Amino acid sequence: MTKLAAYAVSADNSRGRVVHEDPPTGRSDFQRDRDRIIHSSAFRRLEYKTQVFVNHVGDLFRTRLTHSLEVAQIGRSIARNLHLNEDLVEAISLAHDLGHTPFGHAGQNALNHCMKGYGGFEHNLQSLRVVDVLEERYAAFNGLNLCYETREGILKHVAKKNVEKLGELAHRFIQNKSPSLEAQLANFSDEIAYNNHDVDDGLRSGLITLDQLQEVSIFSRHLVQVKRKYPSIAERRMVYETIRNMINTLVTDLIQQSIINIENTQVDNLAAVHEAPPLIGFSQEIKKEQQQLKNFLYNNLYRHFRVVRMNNKANHIIERLFSAFASEIRLLPTEYQKKFEHEGHQVIADYIAGMTDRYAIKEYQRLFTIAEN
Ligand code: MG
């Protein structure tokens, strides 16, 4: 790792772990966090969870696992340029989607709806719950006992009603304080990763076309450059090359604009970062182009009738599972039944959120198909 800037998070200014542990040898505290995340079972399950496309429809589409790896890759390279803590950015990036339900956002919305009378469901909060409570692999504590800064980065947003129960970690949402630059960066890396890979997956699936993408300025201007430079390459390569250049433009812009923002506010320590407005960000011009791309994806991909049909099935599966468990707790595996006595419906949410796409489909068949058992 290159030398850290004065405004970066370091092991020295870390607020540490909930349960005290001696510092690791041979690796930093944030490397230890990353390692714990990679060894968690929630991380392995990301391989079989949908990003946009249901997990089993094609082997080439992104899953939550490959998405998280791309977020970490983009995050690390930006962090290195800004002299931020790469290990922390990597840990946050790899953990940011651990709480996701099966079937992507459709699953999250369905579960949130089911949990309405019981505090609701937010995947972001659930990611924190996975690392704080749900992973059971260490003798001395529940969860992964991650550093404060890693947990702060995972908690991207939180509804006002949940601030108090999360304590200090969530206070910044009522005090209007900013998270570390590493946390801000992981958030932007997420956005850069999904906007670009959704273009790639959208084109490959045939749900969106190159023709339609002409209306998206950031895509069309990079496509024109690629065509000019390589007039005779195959279309698939042209798409890859265009997306590669788009990512490069976004990463470069984010680095340059963030340096300007940091210099303008003259933050020179971590405490000043928390007091300052968010400093990691795109230039106005790129921000506009990103928004245009997002709108395009929303209208043409996320609301494509084939995606909507899939989401509808996802809704149906999650809602039926939830209501079956809620009306007959003994349908839950024994260990969840025990937890239900103390924790109520949150346990059903934990069980469903932890499922992979295919596990949820299997569970649905086990519960509702006569031939299965
Ligand atoms: Mg993500």
| φ and ψ at residue 228, rounded to 5 degrees | -65, -40
What is the whole-number distance in angstroms between the Cα of residue 47 and the centre of ligand 1? Answer: 13
What is the whole-number distance in angstroms between the Cα of residue 199 and the centre of ligand 1? Answer: 15
Q: How many domains does the chain have?
A: 2
Final residue in a domain of this structure, among 286, 308, 330: 308
> Residue 188: inside a domain, yes or no?
yes
Final residue in a domain of this structure, among 308, 334, 356: 308
Mean pLDDT of 117-135: 94
| pLDDT higher than threshold 80 for residue 155 | yes
Final residue in a domain of this structure, among 268, 291, 308: 308
Q: What secondary structure letter does DSSP report for 3?
A: P
| pLDDT higher than threshold 90 for residue 175 | no
Mean pLDDT of 143-151: 97
Burial of 170 (0-12, 13-18, 19+ CB in 10 A): buried
| pLDDT higher than threshold 60 for residue 103 | yes
pLDDT band at 58 (very low <50, low <70, confident <90, very high): low
> Residue 16: inside a domain, yes or no?
no
| pLDDT higher than threshold 70 for residue 18 | yes
In this structure, what CATH number is given to the domain that contains residue 120?
Answer: 1.10.3210.10
Mean pLDDT of 71-81: 97
List beta partners, residue 63: 50
Q: Are 321 and 210 part of one and the same domain?
A: no
| pLDDT higher than threshold 60 for residue 195 | yes
For residue 306, what are the contacts with CB-CB under 8 A and spacing of at least 6? 207
> Residue 150: inside a domain, yes or no?
yes
- Estimate the crossing angle of helix 86-95 against helix 181-205, to 10 degrees: 50
Answer whether 210's CB lies under 8 Å from 239's CB. yes
pLDDT band at 57 (very low <50, low <70, confident <90, very high): low
Average pLDDT of the chain to the nearest whole number: 93
pLDDT for 337 equals 95
Mean pLDDT of 5-9: 97
| pLDDT higher than threshold 70 for residue 235 | yes
| pLDDT higher than threshold 60 for residue 55 | no
Answer whether 87's CB lies under 8 Å from 345's CB. no
What is the whole-number distance in angstroms between the Cα of residue 190 and the centre of ligand 1? Answer: 5
Residue ranges of alpha helices (H) inside the chain are 29-39, 41-45, 64-82, 86-95, 104-114, 123-129, 148-154, 160-166, 172-175, 181-205, 210-213, 217-229, 235-265, 270-275, 284-297, 305-327, 334-343, 346-353, 357-368
What is the whole-number distance in angstroms between the Cα of residue 25 and the centre of ligand 1? Answer: 31
Residue of 264, 288, 277 lying closest to 184 (CA atoms): 277
User: pTM to 2 decimals?
Assistant: 0.95
What is the whole-number distance in angstroms between the Cα of residue 260 and the centre of ligand 1? Answer: 26
pLDDT band at 59 (very low <50, low <70, confident <90, very high): low
pLDDT for 168 equals 84
pLDDT for 60 equals 62
Q: Are 320 and 289 part of one and the same domain?
A: no
What is the whole-number distance in angstroms between the Cα of residue 161 and the centre of ligand 1? Answer: 24
DSSP string, 193-225: HHHHHHHHHHHHHTSS-HHHHTT-HHHHHHHHH
pLDDT band at 283 (very low <50, low <70, confident <90, very high): very high
pLDDT for 1 equals 58
Q: Are 213 and 355 part of one and the same domain?
A: no
> Residue 232: inside a domain, yes or no?
yes
- Alpha-carbon span 97 to 205, nearest angstrom: 23
Distance from first CA to last CA of the chain, Å, rounded?
Answer: 53
Measured between alpha carbons, how far is residue 142 from residues 33, 286, 361 in Å? Answer: 14, 42, 29
Mean pLDDT of 290-295: 97
Q: Are 219 and 353 part of one and the same domain?
A: no
pLDDT for 276 equals 97
Residue of 28, 63, 27, 59 lying closest to 45 (CA atoms): 63
Answer whether 356's CB lies under 8 Å from 100's CB. no
Buried b (16+ CB within 10 A) or exposed e, 100-137: bbbbbbbbbbbbbebbeeebbbbbbbbbbbbbbebbee
Percentage, residues of the chain above pLDDT 90: 83
> Residue 8: inside a domain, yes or no?
no
pLDDT band at 174 (very low <50, low <70, confident <90, very high): confident
- Alpha-carbon span 360 to 170, nearest angstrom: 31
Q: Are 283 and 364 part of one and the same domain?
A: no
Longest Cα separation, the chain: 67
pLDDT for 54 equals 59
Q: Are 86 and 138 part of one and the same domain?
A: yes
Q: What is the dihedral of CA 225, 227, 228, 231, to 10 degrees?
A: 160
Q: Are 202 and 288 part of one and the same domain?
A: yes
**Residues around ligand 1, an ion, CB closer than 5 A:** 97, 190
Q: Are 238 and 342 part of one and the same domain?
A: no
Q: Are 213 and 360 part of one and the same domain?
A: no
Q: Are 326 and 276 part of one and the same domain?
A: no
What is the whole-number distance in angstroms between the Cα of residue 50 and the centre of ligand 1? Answer: 11
What is the whole-number distance in angstroms between the Cα of residue 337 and the centre of ligand 1? Answer: 31
Select the more confidently predicted residue: 170 or 99. 99
Q: Are 343 and 269 part of one and the same domain?
A: no
pLDDT for 259 equals 98
Q: pLDDT, tens digit, for every residue of 296-337?
A: 999 999 999 988 888 999 999 999 999 999 999 999 999 999
> Residue 334: inside a domain, yes or no?
yes
- Alpha-carbon span 49 to 193, nearest angstrom: 17
Q: Are 240 and 259 part of one and the same domain?
A: yes
What is the whole-number distance in angstroms between the Cα of residue 65 and the centre of ligand 1? Answer: 10
Write out the residue range of the structural domain in which residue 101 sits: 29-308
